[in-house]
Amino acid sequence: MGKKMNVAVVGATGAVGVEVLKTLDKRNFPLKGLRLLASARSENRRLLFRDEELPVEVLSADSFQGIDVALFCAGAARSREFAAAAVAAGAVVVDNSSAFRMDPKVPLVVPEVNGEDVRKHQGIIANPNCTTTIMLVAVKPLYDISPIRRIVVSTYQSASGAGAKGMEELWTQTADVLAGKPAKPVTFQHPYAFNLFSHNTTIGENGYNEEEMKMVNETRKIMHDDTIQVCPTCVRVPVLRSHAESIVVEQARKVSVDEALAALSKAPGIKVVDDRAANHFPMPNESNDQYDVLVGRIREDLSCANGLALFVCGDQLLKGAALNAVQIAELLV
């Protein structure tokens, strides 16, 4: 890999920030220096990285001098507040939040799908929503065989999508319910243990929530195809970490199951898990801590002549966030 880089991680103590640090280490990213940034709540904390304890500094507009790449993992409000300062200091911002995703001047990138768009950046590159990323890694090889006209997708989204607080709420509520106590919602509106509910974002006038509309709009932008029709239903399920998605695609021509399997088996970032005899298909507990998106249950759509159905699992904290951001940084190298 090319030259070594000075990297800043914004939100280094959060769920995604912690995974970014692990991923930088595991993938042997060419680091010249590493700066850990977080809110004042994390002041005086130290995090272990490559056998060295690094101090966590309080994020400010002056935090980015000498930084080549700033990986933002602290939410949209922090990105809007500090990204411009990072760019002004000479850094390229890779932003994990929703702040810039639909800005026409900002590339929205999944490296396995549209990595070439990195070259178009003007200082900021956006990381897509986790559900969109996981879905598009799985459907891009099919799109390359025959353009996709329509996608119907139902998501089974884990607690990690709401960060460390969401994961803690699932742990706590599950323990409480098993102990005969009531589940007390704090982070989420509804009880989470042994329950599932519509994704906890605002419902728009069209009846779709914000998470679902991200999948619609981001898919078209990443694929450079405004003709793709997407019908999403996003649901929160009591799983700690990995998201699962049931996906049905309608293509311009009929693609056979064998043709689809061959394309998916060769595609980057995918592991095919499709053992019909053993009834073994993608599962969240097997995709946890994995870089690859697991794809399986590949079958003809019985309701549509040119349709295929598949089931997908991906680690929300990795491919859905931290890994995708580090892969973008690797493209910059």
- Give how far Cα 185 sits from Cα of 75, 189, 306, 319, Å: 22, 6, 43, 28
d(CA 9, CA 318): 15
Instruction: Tally the C-alpha atoms within 13 A of residue 188's C-alpha that lie toward its C-beta.
Output: 31
Task: Give the pair of three-digit tokens for residue 63.
Answer: 């935090």
Please give the Cα distance from 203 to 224 (Å, whole number).
Answer: 26
Residues known to be catalytic: 130, 243
Nearest-10 Cα torsion for 275, 278, 281, 285: -140
Helices (H) and strands (E) in the chain, counts: 9, 14
CB atoms within 10 A of CB 285: 10
Q: How many residues belong to the chain?
A: 333
Query: Burial, 11: exposed, middle or buried (Cβ in 10 Å; 0-12, 13-18, 19+)?
Result: buried
Give the tokens for residue 293.
């998106």
| Residue 313 CB partners (closer than 8 Å, separation 6+) | 134, 242, 243, 244, 245, 282, 283, 284, 286, 287, 293, 294
Amino acid at 278: A
